[in-house]
Structure 1
Amino acid sequence: MSTAVDRVYIARLAGTTVFDPLGDAVGRVRDVVVVVRRTGGTPPTAVGLVVEVPGRRRVFMPLTRVTAINPGQVICTGVINLRRFKARQGETLAIAELFERSVKLKEDRSTAYIEDIAMEQDRTKTWRLTKLYVRRAQRRTGVLGFSRRGEALVVDVDQVTGLSVRDKNQGASLVIEAFSDHKPADLAAALMEMTPSRSAEIAAALDDERLADVLEEMPEDEQIILLSTLQSERAADVLEAMDPDDAADLLGDLPATQAAALLELMEPEDARNVEQLLGYEDDSAGGLMTTEPVIVGPETSVATCLALVRKNELPPALASMVFVVRPPLETPTGRYIGLVHIQRLLREPPHDSIGGLVDPAIAPLHPGDHLSVVARRMAAYDILALPVVNDEHRLVGAISIDDVLDHLLPSDWREHMDEDDSAATQADAAQESTAGGGRG
């Protein structure tokens, strides 16, 4: 392997584009997989990269397949295995699990925190962790504990102790900062790759809204595991920040006593919305819907409606339309009037009222309608979301296409998608060079 950079700092490597031998981008580096042994005196080694490929899948790329690391690019060779990355026994993620870990400096036994790690190739072409960029901890004035804003210095890896020991008080700010510009699904995928203890530390450091968004992107079993690491009061706060339908799905998978206790801790209005959804069957329109679509009165202006659907937190499917009702505007609303598509809003004068723009052809669903009815109706209308009204013709919620797909597809559809994509990629690359190591 030839490298234009003899010493590579991992924090700077993160986000670097990975190119194949033909110059086509195949993904971006998200982390480095390292092996840190507790005994034997063997220096820590880097064995591979975690690369995010199209589709937001994070896969393993052995460093034996990396032919060059240059500023702003990594060059690889061979076929990429698109199986989703999962750390093996003894493997550690440098950014996710070693950054902000505390170590002891041998020279004076003082505490320092890791902020970056350098790796270099030795004569055998093995990548070794050689340097740590650390910051000394300073005792706070007047209070117990330490501050992490002390002197910064670079030390050899063999001049510290504690690198292989998990830090009970390890911070999470560097990891959270690394994902600040990423979608919640990216952070969710990263948390699922970490050890349970490390993912719990990062979850504890996230704010309620961000953690709620991350939980919504996880499989149900992973949601339960992460939620169980939180104190009950914090778990209730996070459930309040989730979309009501996602919170109801999560609570529905918990033991009844635990779900009831969390509902008791939630704000009454949030709990009421979730309890309403819990009363429906999972495969019914009521069980699939959210109680928080965009709801407006008939006198609302087109300009106001367009402003409402621009909100970042609104899912794209629900942003494709607004639902028009008589007051009150909270579910269950006053009498349901109809829906207006965003395309219609874009064609109308901004000061016009929306009440005369409803689409009369879209019939609403009933909460008891089965999933099969919902799917057929959505396909027939070729629409991204549908309203759900009760017997009094009051709007109680809306169903989006993503909720329907989540229930129609098998629970392991993501794994099958990875296998199918991997097989296709392997077939396409069969005519190219397949040199380099592998990871079964």
Structure 2
Amino acid sequence: MAAGVPRVFVSHLSGVPVFDPNGDQVGRVRDLVAMLRVGGRPPRLLGIVVEVISRRRIFLPMTRVTGIDSGQVITTGVINMRRFEQRPTERLVLGEFLDRRVRLVETGEEVTILDVAIQQLPARRDWEIDKYFVRKGRGGALRRKGETLTVDWSAVSGFSLEEHGQGAESLVATFERLRPTDVANALHHLSPKRRAEVAAALDDDRLADVLEELPEDDQVEIIGKLKEERAADVLEAMDPDDAADLLSELPEEDKERLLMLMRPDDAADVRRLMSYEERTAGGLMTTEPIVLRPDATVADALARVRRSDLSPALAAQVYVCRPPDETPTGKYLGTVHFQRLLRDPPFALVSSIVDSDLVPLPPDAPLSVVTSYLAAYNLVSVPVVDESGSLLGAVTVDDVLDHLLPEDWRETDFHSEEGVAHGR
């Protein structure tokens, strides 16, 4: 690990308070959730089990943790209050790792795990188990006298999966190495039973990414086999435009039931997208582009662009609008392209470098107009603005390509052996 990246021992996290960005306490840490991986890779930390005020235990993904220090955990403020349910591929760090008897790889000596250290990967929001604090000896009186030492995760056997395992656990761990598109291709060629098992074992964010890459029939099949609350969680994790496309394929009563289970803000975005015709700018757009106020600086914009969960197309530009910052925004003022952000000093205001010459598209602009606009101005994303001048969202080039390619492109050309070979 790179120097300067903090390491935290999980015993110090047990019971510590969890706060939202405003300083209000959400609950307390009760455990951490990890996933074993194949190929001798360290276990990945998925999230934290938080006990909220009502004594309900919920799951807080690590992607929504902004800080762990000084005896507290800080979140983004966006928390799903549904009860935590452990999945087959998940391990509880405090509940299942501590006091476990394992062996040192080098000597074969049996040791007891007393503590586990986690560490954030440099320049990313992912966390991994980094080290184990262990005691030699077999327990009882000897346990008190045994030597203690801190070892790397790779020095201990028993915390990785075998490549040849047939369970969903091993297959899911193997899929972690692949891009969502490649996982989707693998899922498509599994039997319906196996596909459902693997989908149930994937975490919400990963399954959401994979669903976005699957043919519509597979999407409907998988979402229909999930428990309704889990299905709503996955839809929340999907890009709103992809969630709207998927929901539009479901029977009306199923669609409404899932929308009612989703968080109100997420459901509102999806409902808004579903109100537009499919092959229009409104039907193609995402409601989550990067929006900044006029008084934001270039440094602010670059910090937003660096977010790892953004697609390259969405990260290519920011949209400057008056409050509110969420779509539909206040008055749309213009766009600042990524290259311009790199050329100007960090303290410059985005309002001073905004490009207001390009006329945004209305939500009813047909697909042909959107395509021509992107091609004519060499853009990868275009703003969609309503009659009142509010930014509604942005259409990215990948969404346009999805509608220009044949309907079965995910099942044929891209995944053919010849296509993959040329892609490499």
Question: Shorter-normalised TM-score: what interval?
Answer: 0.5 to 0.7
Pair 205,423 (structure 1): closer, same or farther in 2 beyond 3 Å? closer
Q: Partner of 1:69 in structure 2?
A: none
- Normalised to the residue count of structure 2, the TM-score between the two structures is 0.59
Q: Which amino acid is the alignment partner of residue 361 of structure 1?
A: D
Counterparts of 1:335-374 in structure 2, within 5 Å, are: 335-374=331-370
Pair 211,423 (structure 1): closer, same or farther in 2 beyond 3 Å? closer
User: 1:397 is paired with a residue of what secondary structure?
Assistant: strand
Q: Partner of 1:387 in structure 2?
A: 383
Give the Cα–Cα distance (whole angstroms) in 1 for the partners of residues 198 and 235 of structure 2.
17
Matching of residue 330 in structure 1 with residue 320 in structure 2 = no
Q: Partner of 2:403 in structure 1?
A: 407
Give the Cα–Cα distance (whole angstroms) in 2 for the partners of residues 235 and 419 of structure 1.
27
Unaligned stretches of 5+ residues in structure 2: 1-37, 40-88, 90-156
User: 2:384 is paired with a residue of what secondary structure?
Assistant: strand
Pair 417,345 (structure 1): closer, same or farther in 2 beyond 3 Å? same
Q: Partner of 1:177 in structure 2?
A: 173
Q: Partner of 1:265 in structure 2?
A: 261
1:239 to 235, 241, 244: 235
Is 170-179 or 265-274 further displaced after alignment?
Answer: 170-179
1:390-423 deviation line (CA, Å, top 9, x unaligned): 1101001000001011111211234553598749
Q: Which amino acid is the alignment partner of residue 346 of structure 2?
A: P
Give the Cα–Cα distance (whole angstroms) in 1 for the partners of residues 415 and 266 of structure 2.
40
Q: Partner of 1:430 in structure 2?
A: none
Are the counterparts in 1 of residues 243 and 270 from structure 2 also a CA contact under 8 Å? yes
Q: Partner of 2:308 in structure 1?
A: 312
Aligned pairs, number: 267
Pair 369,239 (structure 1): closer, same or farther in 2 beyond 3 Å? same
Counterparts of 1:26-425 in structure 2, within 5 Å, are: 171-415=167-411, 417=413, 422=418
Pair 420,204 (structure 1): closer, same or farther in 2 beyond 3 Å? closer
Are the counterparts in 1 of residues 215 and 411 from structure 2 also a CA contact under 8 Å? no
- Normalised to the residue count of structure 1, the TM-score between the two structures is 0.57
Q: Which amino acid is the alignment partner of residue 219 of structure 2?
A: Q
Give the Cα–Cα distance (whole angstroms) in 2 for the partners of residues 210 and 413 of structure 1.
22
Q: CA deviation at 1:173?
A: 2.2
User: 2:320 is paired with a residue of what secondary structure?
Assistant: strand
Pair 404,207 (structure 1): closer, same or farther in 2 beyond 3 Å? same
1:281-314 deviation line (CA, Å, top 9, x unaligned): 0011100000001111011111111111111111
Are the counterparts in 2 of residues 224 and 254 from structure 1 also a CA contact under 8 Å? yes
Give the Cα–Cα distance (whole angstroms) in 2 for the partners of residues 228 and 236 of structure 1.
11
Give the Cα–Cα distance (whole angstroms) in 2 for the partners of residues 419 and 391 of structure 1.
42
1:137-185 deviation line (CA, Å, top 9, x unaligned): xxxxxxxxxxxx99x9x9xxxxxxxx9xxxxxx8522222212232212
1:95-144 deviation line (CA, Å, top 9, x unaligned): xxxxx9xxxxxxxxxxxxxxxxxxxxxxxxxxxxxxxxxxxxxxxxxxxx
1:222-277 deviation line (CA, Å, top 9, x unaligned): 11111111011110110011000000000011111111111011111100000000
Q: Which has the higher contact order (CA 8 A, sep 6+)?
A: 1
Give the Cα–Cα distance (whole angstroms) in 2 for the partners of residues 416 and 361 of structure 1.
41
Q: Which amino acid is the alignment partner of residue 209 of structure 2?
A: D
Pair 414,183 (structure 1): closer, same or farther in 2 beyond 3 Å? closer
Are the counterparts in 2 of residues 171 and 201 from structure 1 also a CA contact under 8 Å? no
1:359-418 deviation line (CA, Å, top 9, x unaligned): 122210100111111111111111000000111010010000010111112112345535
Are the counterparts in 1 of residues 333 and 356 from structure 2 also a CA contact under 8 Å? no
Are the counterparts in 2 of residues 296 and 324 from structure 1 also a CA contact under 8 Å? yes
Are the counterparts in 2 of residues 300 and 353 from structure 1 also a CA contact under 8 Å? yes
